[in-house]
Structure 1
């Protein structure tokens, strides 16, 4: 796998990804926000169907489109510095698999043509900080299941999983920076 400086930070819902990314951004790194939350907000505002609790297939199509556009925008800008993504394109593939949405061979080829750095930072489930909100409706059990499936998906595509230990945001930030 050709190395680049595009790092994914992923895991199940409510594990502190966004908080970690904001801390990395405050240290001067580029942090790319998660597309899924924005899609959910937009769909809720417009009473749309592309929501994980309404039309999972349409929601995954919107996520995939947004994730690919974001990836290509970052690559097109030819960033020479490190970029951290709040979730990667494979997160959508994982979601599709979890929801039994067919994954075409063309999609797999497309995903493989959009590589991130081989090291993927994964935050484990952490019940003490987990909470639901208007966009995050998964149960704690679903959060654990999502983490396991994310891990399987990234490993299946040849990525190295680096599990970020639980701790305060500075400890997590330092851990990520020591491991890139």
Structure 2
């Protein structure tokens, strides 16, 4: 499948990415759940330490391996949407102040050059066990994500702060 059908939806925690992805899946698009949330759930279940706030390097490596497999699962001719992509790992690792492995950069070019970013949105922001960050953290993460995607040459398109169906329509209008 062409990389042109692989779209990333990114943004800080609590900005509506997962709800948007679920709506796209409901409309018949192929979508991939956020790997980092899965890994965090698994680590909580086994009382593990491979969490972004305990062991960022190992956490990032697990996410990288699983996101790489997600890329291979997009093999149809329809659009595929990812709740976060490998460039998100780069942004989080940069924010954590550790060295980004070169392979993360090499794999980042396997997505469409357009990325959709959900801006921080106080009215819909919530915390949960997999998302302990504050709204202020979410705003900082958003800035790291936006800068990282721009640095990597992606065209960053900010999603409007509108209802989920309106966000779906906005993305569809950008697909051409």
Relative to the length of structure 2, the TM-score reads 0.94
User: For the structure 1 residues 98 and 167, does the alpha-carbon distance in structure 2 shift closer, same or farther, using more than 3 Å as the test?
Assistant: same
Match of 1:66 in 2: 66
Q: Structure 1 residue 44 and structure 2 residue 41: aligned?
A: no
Please state whether the residue corresponding to 1:53 is helix, strand or coil: coil
Match of 2:122 in 1: 127
| Runs (4+) off by over 6 Å | none
Pick from 94, 97, 105: which aligns with 2:94? 97
> What is the deviation of 1:54?
1.7
Match of 1:174 in 2: 169
Pick from 103, 106, 109: which aligns with 1:109? 106
Distance in 2 (CA, whole Å) between partners of 1:38 and 1:3 is 24
Unaligned runs of 5+ in 2: none
User: For the structure 1 residues 73 and 121, does the alpha-carbon distance in structure 2 shift closer, same or farther, using more than 3 Å as the test?
Assistant: same
Distance in 1 (CA, whole Å) between partners of 2:20 and 2:108 is 25
Asked if the contact 2:86/2:107 (under 8 Å) is kept, the reply is: no
Please state whether the residue corresponding to 2:112 is helix, strand or coil: coil
Match of 2:155 in 1: 160
Unaligned runs of 5+ in 1: none
Distance in 1 (CA, whole Å) between partners of 2:104 and 2:9 is 22
Distance in 1 (CA, whole Å) between partners of 2:119 and 2:151 is 18
User: For the structure 1 residues 107 and 120, does the alpha-carbon distance in structure 2 shift closer, same or farther, using more than 3 Å as the test?
Assistant: closer
Please state whether the residue corresponding to 2:157 is helix, strand or coil: strand
Q: Structure 1 residue 12 and structure 2 residue 12: aligned?
A: yes
> What is the deviation of 1:105?
3.0
> What is the deviation of 1:108?
2.3
- Matched residues, number: 174
> What is the CA RMSD across the aligned residues, in angstroms?
1.4
Distance in 2 (CA, whole Å) between partners of 1:69 and 1:24 is 21
Please state whether the residue corresponding to 1:4 is helix, strand or coil: helix
